[in-house]
Chain A
Amino acid sequence: MNEKELVERLERHRTLAPEGFAQEIMERLPAWRRRRGLWPSQGRWIAPALAGAAAALLIVFAVGKVGRPVPADGRVAIHFELHAPGAERVELLGTFNQWRQNDIVLSGPDASGHWTATVELPEGRHEYIFLVDGQQWMADPRMATHRPDGFGRVNTVIKVYGDDDKA
């Protein structure tokens, strides 16, 4: 067998997963993944909404002040900014919008060449990246924590807390 024949044979070959493999996985999947929208279906919004309202009240009374606006659903307004004076369009893609293009477009540039957007994010860890003119991917140079995505790009990592801007 020569190399060409081997490659052709390999290209036709599949190592098959065992019978019932997919079914076993589906049976093992956790049941916790639910619709991620702001308005969960089938009345599931009641408990989270009540819990969110109670948490917000606790924060107000415990801290005695309301700092940056923290909506009752636990989202926090985060300000994103990129200095790109020559750009014609800057977008923000991240885990919070499932990396969708044409979703969050920054406003700008202002007189100093800055593009900005304010996005309400749920508390927790997020990754994001800027897309400049639909071609150039840029991590946020203002932030300290970055993570290679393994495919040649570098995402910026933020942790959002109710009382802090970014960490």
Chain B
Amino acid sequence: MADERTDQALAQDSLAGNRCAFEELVRRHQDAVFGLAASLARNREDAEDMAQEAFIRAYGKLEQYNPEYSFKAWLLRICANQTKNLFRSRTRRRRAEEGHVREAEVRASEQPADYGELEVALARLPPKLGAPLRLKHMEGLPYEEIAAILGIGVSAAKMRTLRARNLLMEMLQP
């Protein structure tokens, strides 16, 4: 049976030492956090590390979480910040070499037939376009929250999402 507690209630329970509550938060948001890390890191191994690290950091900073706000947005912001920190010191060349999420690694068999095609196209988007696109259309966040998560202006978030959509449409043309 699905756990019907809110994220805020689970965060409170986690603060009180309930690890199962935190595990439920991880399960709820693992795809969103991993997806954002994948769009920023552009390498599956790094993305996995960064997404895991985001959850571990969030666990250590739970006292700082303000339950008036979305837990998911808070988590995504932690993920974006540390992913930026990691890659600030790396070269663009290495990112290009590492390429994209390999289709074979995607659990495509559980997904619709066109899942892999879109996943590969998403992975080919430049990080600064892919991240806002994911947050807008896959996570359903408003542009104000996207801007706060990624540390950019609201107009930049809108513009990058638009450019990402245009680029994706080009990539997905038959």
A residues with CB within 8 A of B: 1-3, 6-7, 9-11, 13-19, 21-22, 24-26, 28-30, 33-37, 93, 95, 98-101, 127, 149-152
Contact = CB atoms under 8 A, between A and B. Distances in A.
Contacts of B51: 17, 21
Interface of B: 12, 14-17, 19, 22-23, 26-27, 30-31, 33-35, 38, 44, 48, 51-52, 55-56, 59-60, 62-69, 73, 77, 101, 106-107, 110-111, 114-115, 118-119, 122, 133-134, 137-138, 140, 144-145, 148, 165, 168-169, 172-173
A1 B172 contact: yes
Contacts of B64: 95, 127
Contacts of A25: 26, 30, 52, 55-56
Contacts, number: 120
Given A13-B122, A98-B15, 13 more contacts: A2-B169, A14-B35, A16-B107, A17-B48, A17-B51, A21-B26, A28-B56, A35-B17, A93-B66, A95-B64, A98-B65, A150-B77, A152-B148
Given A16-B107, A21-B34, A29 B17 contact: no
Nearest to A126: B63
Contact of B12 (A28, A29, A98, A152): A98
SS class of chain A's interface: helix, strand, loop or mixed? loop
A151 B119 contact: no
SS class of chain B's interface: helix, strand, loop or mixed? helix
Contact of B138 (A2, A3, A13, A93): A13
B68 to A, nearest CB: 6
B31 A3 contact: no
B168 A150 contact: no
Contacts of B23: 22, 26
A17 B34 contact: yes
Contact of A21 (B30, B60, B63, B110): B30
A34 B14 CA distance: 9
Contact of B19 (A3, A11, A13, A29): A29
A30 B53 CA distance: 12
A127 to B, nearest CB: 7
A18 B59 CA distance: 20
Contacts of B34: 15-18, 21
B60 A30 contact: yes
A95 B62 CA distance: 9
A26 B60 CA distance: 13
Nearest to A96: B63
Nearest to A33: B17
A21 B145 CA distance: 26
B59 A29 contact: yes
Contacts of A28: 52, 56
Contact of A7 (B17, B115, B118, B137): B137
Contacts of B31: 14-17
